[in-house]
A = this chain, B = another copy of it.
Amino acid sequence: MSASLKAIDGTAELPSLMADLATRARAAARVLSLASPEQKNRALDAMERAIRARASAILAANAEDVAEARASGATSAFIDRLTLTQARIDAMADGIRTVRDIADPVGVVTESWQRPNGMTIERVRVPLGVVAVIFESRPNVAADAGVLCLKSGNAVILRGGSDSFRSCRAIHVCLVQGLREADLPEAAITLVPTRDRAAVGLLLTGLNGGIDVIVPRGGKSLVARVEAEARVPVFAHLEGVNHVYVDHAANLEMAKSIVLNAKMRRPGVCGAAETLLVDRAGAATSLKPLVEMLIDAGCEVRGDDVVQRADSRVKPASDEDWDTEYEDAIIAARIVDGVDEAIAHIHHHGSHHTDAIVTEDAKTAQKFLNEVDSAIVLHNASTQFADGGEFGFGAEIGIATGKFHARGPVGAEQLTSFKYRVHGTGQTRP
């Protein structure tokens, strides 16, 4: 570890350091909330240029992080998430340009109406304020989250996993350079300048009103800790225990294509399907082809009794399987008695993330879409569309599974609040 890293690790001054960060972020947020779209885009352009120009410095910093992680025995999956390549750096820079090109949400009048007394009321989007993003080993989140917060007029405090500290710092240098070139305050995007894990606990307290919302980006244990400890609002992004229900009135070819895509396109993303529900009334024709297809594609199928009989390679499902987010090429599969039992199963076992029905029956589809209480419900489409880009949001900071403020893909618009502007001509209230 370099001297400069050691110097700020584990000092007794951490609480005052963090309080100071929050104060400066709050002041920056006020400036940002009034910045023009052009000024913010100038910063984003400069950030993109800086990321591309400093790619070798970022890769060098990342190599140090990776070496340290390897030496400490990190898993290969961990190393993969931590490692940056030229391609990943290019993707980061491209992502900044994508955010630059999103419509600026701030200042947009979403509703406007006149009252009988002649007053006009407008509802207009304003930034939330200061967003804290707590993430794990993927250093690219520093850029992705930083620029999305900037676009939406929010200041952001970034806290990456301590293993990715050098990488995040190298990326942060580029973001700050962009702010500087656009005459925006550097505290608009702050990286917590210490690897001390106590900093996370301090962020979760809200730093005495200094933080308006916390966005956890990472695995279950991080999200669970944030949910349990946070004293400020959290954009909860819980697991995606997502279902595909194949109704008896499904087109079998469509069902096969959707199920395969929903599970196997990328088994590790949060929009991947984890459970297949097959309508008993259609099982005679649909079950065997679906199960065979999955297993032939390299997916482990864990089934109930009926599903086990469909193919000898099916493993028995335990009670736990119905509640599990595998994030892997594994799917739980069971028979249900029609759409009602499918809805009941999802109500009981789902995580309110993303669920799909395959059917040619419009009425059944409508029932499913209405009654399944998830952020995203799809008819005849793959659950893997659960993604801000696929929704047309340009970019996202995560998929919210709570119902408060944001739900589903959290894009620039969901990172705003609103206020009411009232235009009068001297009205007083009787």
Known A381-B426, A390-B115: A419·B407 in contact at CB below 8 Å: yes
In the docked arrangement, what's the CA distance between A128 and B126, Å?
Answer: 23
Q: A50 near B: Cβ within 8 Å?
A: no
Q: A177 near B: Cβ within 8 Å?
A: no
Asked whether B404 lies within 8 Å of A420 as measured between CB atoms, the reply is: no
Q: Which residues of B contact A418 (CB under 8 A)?
A: 407
Q: A384 near B: Cβ within 8 Å?
A: yes
Q: Which residues of B contact A258 (CB under 8 A)?
A: 426, 428
In the docked arrangement, what's the CA distance between A373 and B391, Å?
Answer: 31
In whole Å, how far is A103's beta carbon from the nearest beta carbon of chain B? Answer: 13
Asked whether A33 lies within 8 Å of B373 as measured between CB atoms, the reply is: yes
**Contact mask for chain A residues 379-397; partner B; CB cutoff 8 A; 1 contact, 0 none:** 1111011010011100000
Asked whether A403 lies within 8 Å of B128 as measured between CB atoms, the reply is: yes
Asked whether A428 lies within 8 Å of B382 as measured between CB atoms, the reply is: yes
Q: Which residues of B contact A262 (CB under 8 A)?
A: 428
Q: Which chain B residue has the least Cβ–Cβ distance from A408?
A: B420
Show 28 residue pairs from A and B whose CB-CB distance is below 8 angstroms, ordered by the A residue. Answer: A30-B347, A30-B373, A115-B390, A119-B385, A121-B391, A128-B404, A129-B403, A233-B404, A265-B428, A374-B419, A375-B420, A376-B419, A376-B420, A376-B422, A377-B420, A378-B423, A379-B422, A380-B423, A380-B425, A380-B426, A380-B427, A382-B428, A382-B429, A384-B428, A404-B417, A407-B418, A407-B420, A408-B420
Q: A196 near B: Cβ within 8 Å?
A: no
One complex includes copies of this chain to the number of 2
Asked whether A429 lies within 8 Å of B376 as measured between CB atoms, the reply is: no
Number of interface residues of A (CB under 8 A): 60
Determine which of B126, B371, B381, B421 lies in contact with A424 in the assembled complex, contact meaning CB atoms within 8 Å: B381
In whole Å, how far is A292's beta carbon from the nearest beta carbon of chain B? Answer: 19
Q: Which residues of B contact A369 (CB under 8 A)?
A: 421
Q: Which residues of B contact A126 (CB under 8 A)?
A: 373, 403
Asked whether B119 lies within 8 Å of A422 as measured between CB atoms, the reply is: no
In whole Å, how far is A401's beta carbon from the nearest beta carbon of chain B? Answer: 11
Q: A213 near B: Cβ within 8 Å?
A: yes
In whole Å, how far is A346's beta carbon from the nearest beta carbon of chain B? Answer: 12
In the docked arrangement, what's the CA distance between A422 and B355, Å?
Answer: 10
Q: Which chain B residue has the least Cβ–Cβ distance from A378?
A: B422
In the docked arrangement, what's the CA distance between A371 and B426, Å?
Answer: 21
In whole Å, how far is A164's beta carbon from the nearest beta carbon of chain B? Answer: 28
Asked whether A426 lies within 8 Å of B257 as measured between CB atoms, the reply is: yes
Q: A324 near B: Cβ within 8 Å?
A: no
Q: Which residues of B contact A423 (CB under 8 A)?
A: 378-381
In the docked arrangement, what's the CA distance between A422 and B387, Å?
Answer: 12
Q: A212 near B: Cβ within 8 Å?
A: yes
**Contact mask for chain A residues 207-240; partner B; CB cutoff 8 A; 1 contact, 0 none:** 0000011000000000000000000010000000
Determine which of B260, B422, B426 lies in contact with A254 in the assembled complex, contact meaning CB atoms within 8 Å: B426
Asked whether A261 lies within 8 Å of B429 as measured between CB atoms, the reply is: yes
